[in-house]
Structure 1
Amino acid sequence: MKFKGFTIALLLSVAATQLLAQNRTQEFGFQSDNDSFLAQGSDRYYTNGLFVFYRRGMDFKNPKLANKVLGFEIGQKIFNPISGSVPDATYVDRPFAGYLYIGANINYLFRNESNFKFSLQTGVIGPSALGRQVQIAIHKTFGFYQLNGWQYQIKNNFQVNASAEYNRLLFRQSWVDLTATAYANGGTGFTGAGIGPLLRLGNYNLLFNSVSTQSTATRNSIAPMHAKEIFLHYKPQFNYIAYDATVKGKLGNQELEPGSLEITSDPKSLTFSHQVGVSYAGPRWIFDATATFVTKEVKTQTFNTHQWGSVSVVYRFNGYKPKM
C-alpha cells in the first residue's frame, strides 16, 4: 500500500510539473506595424507603430473565471499624409501626427469563453510624441527618401484614454470557430466603437488561454487543449469614430494660435476594416503576422483605403511559485 501511495504521489507530482510547464505565468514582447511590410510601395496614413508590453497571470477567486491577466504597455504611432515628404501644405490630405503613450490593462476571462478587457492610456499627441524624430531615424537607417512636412503636424495635447473590449464564443467545430468581438473607446483623444466577428481556422486553444485574447500568461489550473497553437485568423469589423485627435487635434477649442502651421482635418464617422493573419504560440515563444486593410478614415484623404502589416514576437516565462 505504501508503494502504491508513493506511485500515485509521484504521478501527481509529474502531472503538476507538466501543467506548470505549460502555464507560463509571465510574458514579454513587442509588436511592430509598418505599411512597408506589405511591399505595396506606399508610405502614407498610419505608417509606423511600435509597442512593447509585459503581461502577468493573476490569482483569482471568482469560480466563473478561468484566467485573469494584468498588462502594461508603452507604444508609439506615426501618421503621414499621402507621403512623408510633401512639397507644400496643399498635399497634406491627412495630418502629420505622432502618438506616444504608456498604458495598463486588466483582462477578465471566463469559463464560458467570454472576456472583458479594460485599458487605460496616458500620453501625448504632437511634437513631444517624437514622431518626426523616429521617422527620420527609420528613413536614414534604411536609406529611404528625405522627409518634409512635419512642420504641419498636430500640436501637443495631453492624452487620457480608456477602452473596453468584449469577446464571446459563438460557434466551434474541431478546426474552426467563430467569436463575436466589440470594443469602445473614450477620452481626450479617441472616442468610438466597433463590432465584428473573429474567425479562426486551425489548431487553437480555448479563448481563456489563447493568443487570440492575449491570455497566454496564466496561473489557472485548466490545461490548454493544445501544447501549441497555430491557426489562421480573419476579422472584419465595422467602426464608428466620434473623435480622433491625430486627425482633429486638441479636443475643445479648434482655433489656431497666431503663426501656427498646424493642419487638421475631420475623421470619417464610419469605416470598415478587415484583418487576416497567422498566429503561433508554443511553450516559450509566440509569433503573429497580420495584414490590416482599412477604408477611408479621414474626409480629405486622396486614397479610399490604406493598409499595413503587423509582426509580434512574445517570450513566455515562469515567475511564480505555487504555495506549498
Structure 2
Amino acid sequence: MKKKSCNFSFITLINLFFTSFSLFSYGQEINSTNIVHDFEGDRYFRLNYDNDFFMYSDDDYTQGLNFELFHPVFRKNPINFLFFKSKGADFKYGLAIEHSAFTPDVISDVDIRYTDRPYASALTLKMMSVSDHLDKGFRMKSSFWLGIIGPSSLGGAGQTWIHEATGNWKPRGWDNQIEDDVILNYNLGFETLLLDLSNYFSLYGESKARLGTMFTDLNLGASATLGLVNSPLRTSNRSSKFQVYLFARGITNFVGYNALLQGGVFSRSSPYTIPSTKIERFTGQYYYGLVIKSGFFYLEYYQTSMTREFEYGDPEDWGGLKIGVRI
C-alpha cells in the first residue's frame, strides 16, 4: 500500500508541473544548457534562433539570436572562479553572444502604447559552465552575463532593417524604448534525473535562480524526453550516436525583477516602463519540440507558449531552431 501511495504522489507532482501551472518564464532567455538540449562533448558550435513568426505573430518577444561556442580553451577563462564547482564532475565551459528584441502588439504607432509592453532590446555576452555528475545523476549549470540593454544594443535598427527588406510594417515606436543600462547577471541551475526507462524515456526535475540587473527570479520545473536518446546523467548501453527524440519542458517562475519590462536598475530615464505593481509575480511557460543529432551535428525545432508577464499584457507564443556542429 505504501508503494502505491508513493506512486500516486509522484504522478500528481508530474501533473502539477505539466498541466496545472501552464509553466515557466525565463524572461525569454535562449536556454541551451538544459538536458533536453544537450549536445554531447565539450567542443561544439551552435546557432540558436527564436522568432514569433513561427507562431504567426509579430509582437512581444519578436526575435532572439544566440551564437554559442563550447571549447576546452574556456577552462582558462579568468571568470570561472565565479562558477560552482564540485569534485567528481565532468566539466565543460563555453561562451555565447545573445541578442533579443521586444515590441508592443502594434508596431505602427509612433506614440507610446500605455497598456502594452515597452520596446526593449538587449545584447549579452554569456560565460557558462556545465558540470555533470554521472554517478549521482544531476547537472549543475553556472553562468555570468555581461551586456547592455537599450538603444546601444541595436534592436530597433535590426528590426527596422528586417521589416524593410521583407516588405513588412515598419516599426515606428523604437524612440520610446527602454534606455541604455548595464547587464550584470549571475545564474545557477540544477537538474536531476527522476525517472529513466532504458534509452526511451527520461524525466528530470530542475530549479534555477538568477540574480542581477536584467533578471532576478526563481523557478522550479520538470522536463521529459521520449525516443532514442542517451541521457548525459546515466551510462548508456546504446552503441549508436544517432539520436532522435521528442521533448517537453515546463517551469513555474517567481519574478523579482525584469529589466525588459521595468527598465534598467541604474537608469531611470526610460520614457515608458511597466510599474512594479503591475508585474505578474508568478508566470508560466511550456514548450515542446523535436531533436535530431549524431556525433557530428545537432538539429532542433520547438514551439512555446507563455503566460502574461504583466497585468494588462497578453500570453505570448514563439518558435525556435537550434543548429549545431561539433568542432
Aligned to 1:11: none
2:119 aligns with one of 96, 104, 121 = 96
Seen in structure 2, the aligned counterparts of structure 1 residues 131 and 62 have a Cα distance that, compared at 3 Å, is: closer
**Who wins on radius of gyration, i.e. which is larger?**
1
- 1:159-192 per-residue CA deviation (whole Å, 9 max, x = no partner) reads 1111111100000113111100111100112100
Q: Is the 8 A contact 1:206 1:224 kept in 2?
A: no
Shift of 1:226: 4.0
- 1:197-228 per-residue CA deviation (whole Å, 9 max, x = no partner) reads 1011101112249xxxxxxxxxxx99876411
Shift of 1:268: 1.4
2:265 aligns with one of 226, 231, 251 = 251
2:141 is paired with a residue of what secondary structure?
strand
Matched, 1:269 2:284: no
2:310 is paired with a residue of what secondary structure?
coil
Shift of 1:113: 2.3
Between the aligned partners of 2:154 and 2:220, the Cα distance in structure 1 is 32
1:207 aligns with one of 215, 221, 232 = 232
2:93 aligns with one of 63, 66, 70 = 70
Structure 2 matches for 1:169-180, cutoff 5 A? 169-174=193-198, 175-180=200-205
Matched, 1:86 2:109: yes
Shift of 1:276: 0.5
Aligned to 1:215: none
Aligned to 1:218: none
Between the aligned partners of 1:108 and 1:135, the Cα distance in structure 2 is 36
What amino acid is the match of 2:256? A
Q: Mind listing any 5+ residue stretches in structure 1 that lack a counterpart?
A: 1-21, 210-220, 318-324
Q: Is the 8 A contact 1:265 1:300 kept in 2?
A: no
Aligned to 2:63: 48
Shift of 1:300: 3.0
Between the aligned partners of 2:257 and 2:52, the Cα distance in structure 1 is 23
Shift of 1:144: 1.3
Aligned to 2:246: 232
Could you list the structure 1 runs, at least 4 aligned residues long, displaced by more than 3 angstroms after superposition: 22-25, 221-226
Between the aligned partners of 1:113 and 1:158, the Cα distance in structure 2 is 37
Seen in structure 2, the aligned counterparts of structure 1 residues 307 and 138 have a Cα distance that, compared at 3 Å, is: same
Cα-Cα RMSD: 2.4
Q: Is the 8 A contact 1:204 1:226 kept in 2?
A: no
Q: How many residues align?
A: 274
What amino acid is the match of 2:120? A
Q: Is the 8 A contact 1:199 1:233 kept in 2?
A: yes
2:71 is paired with a residue of what secondary structure?
strand
Between the aligned partners of 2:69 and 2:290, the Cα distance in structure 1 is 21
Structure 2 matches for 1:178-193, cutoff 5 A? 178-193=203-218
Matched, 1:30 2:39: no
Between the aligned partners of 2:219 and 2:249, the Cα distance in structure 1 is 12
Structure 2 matches for 1:114-129, cutoff 5 A? 114-129=138-153
Between the aligned partners of 2:160 and 2:219, the Cα distance in structure 1 is 33
1:250 is paired with a residue of what secondary structure?
coil
1:89 is paired with a residue of what secondary structure?
coil
Seen in structure 2, the aligned counterparts of structure 1 residues 208 and 178 have a Cα distance that, compared at 3 Å, is: closer
1:90 is paired with a residue of what secondary structure?
coil
What is the percentage of aligned positions where both structures have the same residue? 26
Seen in structure 2, the aligned counterparts of structure 1 residues 236 and 64 have a Cα distance that, compared at 3 Å, is: same
2:319 is paired with a residue of what secondary structure?
strand
Seen in structure 2, the aligned counterparts of structure 1 residues 145 and 204 have a Cα distance that, compared at 3 Å, is: same
- 1:302-321 per-residue CA deviation (whole Å, 9 max, x = no partner) reads x2x1111010000112xxxx
Q: Is the 8 A contact 2:42 2:93 kept in 1?
A: no
Aligned to 2:26: none
Q: Is the 8 A contact 2:148 2:180 kept in 1?
A: yes
2:209 is paired with a residue of what secondary structure?
strand
Shift of 1:29: 1.5
1:141 is paired with a residue of what secondary structure?
helix
Shift of 1:31: 0.6
1:309 aligns with one of 312, 315, 319 = 319
